[in-house]
Amino acid sequence: MKCAKGALLETWSGHHWQDGIQIDAIDDLSKIAVQTENNLYEITVISAFAGEVLVRGGKFFPEYTPARLAGCSLGGSFLKVRGIYVGFNIEFYSGGRTIITSRVRTISVEK
């Protein structure tokens, strides 16, 4: 039985986690622009510690919408909590459902 590379614990734990950010390590009210394969997401951090954000972008967030940024994943069962990393999908929780973006291409934090 074959497993996806992203689903292996060794692959996940051995990842360098350099090309991205942890939102719980930046200031509240910071603004982040994330370009995925399909959309641009504009994120305002409300509570970095709790992962609470306002997000706009894509078909699920046509206007700024309260959400919790759960983290990023490769579509498997591992989640890098409150992280946004190039090559990974972002997972938001809003309105009682989980929204998963396409893969992240670029991240910029407004200073």
pLDDT digits (tens, 9 = 90+) for 63-84: 999 999 999 998 777 888 999 9
Q: Are 67 and 92 in contact (CB under 8 A)?
A: yes
pLDDT at 43 exceeding the cut of 80: yes
pLDDT-derived band at 13, boundaries 50, 70, 90: low
Reported pTM = 0.84
Name residue, tokens 């591992």. Answer: 78
- pLDDT on residue 68: 97
Q: How far is it, in rounded angstroms, from Cα 37 to Cα 71?
A: 17
First-last CA distance in the chain: 47
- pLDDT on residue 76: 72
Q: How far is it, in rounded angstroms, from Cα 14 to Cα 48?
A: 25
Token pair of 95, please?
């309105």
User: How far is the CA of 94 from the CAs of 32, 40, 60, in angstroms?
Assistant: 18, 18, 10
Q: How far is it, in rounded angstroms, from Cα 88 to Cα 6?
A: 10
pLDDT-derived band at 2, boundaries 50, 70, 90: very low
Q: How far is it, in rounded angstroms, from Cα 98 to Cα 67?
A: 10
